[in-house]
Amino acid sequence: MSNPVEYKYSSEHEWISPVVDGIVTLGITDHAQSELGDVVYVDLPAVGDTFSKEDSIAVVESVKAASDVYTPVSGEVVEVNEALDAEPGTVNSDATGAGWICKIKLDDPSELDELMDAAAYEEFCK
């Protein structure tokens, strides 16, 4: 399992990229996508939607199951990965890169302090 060391991770298997201009990118981890199996559809949030920490922000559907994606941070969706409409399998092939789900303008950057670093997340997944 390859988890970028610069990312933060939640116990619900989401990742958050480093903050750039108050915005983070959110996706599901490689561990999550491997548990789900082949992803066939991603129900994305809408740009402008606001979410509180731990809200369901998206749904990832696979051949095995549908799984909610919970945001580990509060904020407003400023961009969604529309490429997932045509190629939802990108979540499987590049979960921590091109398979990102959305970008969020943070309400409270201190929420990031509650997330795990890569080493802690890898230990959590054992």
Taken in order of first residue, the domains within the chain and their CATH numbers are 8-108 (2.40.50.100)
pLDDT attached to residue 19: 93
Per-residue confidence (pLDDT) for residue 48, from 0 to 100: 98
Model confidence at 103: pLDDT above 70: yes
C-alpha to C-alpha distance for 64 and 35, rounded to whole angstroms: 9
Mean pLDDT of 92-109: 97
Q: What percent of the chain has pLDDT over 90?
A: 98
Q: For a pLDDT cut of 70, what percent of the chain falls above it?
A: 99
Give the per-residue pLDDT at 2.
78
- pLDDT exceeds 80 at position 124: yes
Average pLDDT, the chain: 96
| Strand blocks (E) in 1-126 | 8-9, 14-16, 23-28, 39-43, 50-51, 56-62, 66-70, 75-80, 102-106
Query: Does the pLDDT of residue 1 top 60, yes or no?
Result: no
Give the pLDDT of residue 117: 97
| Mean pLDDT computed over 83-112 | 97
- pTM of the predicted model as reported, rounded to 2 decimal places: 0.95
CA distances from 96 to 3, 100, 111 (A): 7, 6, 20
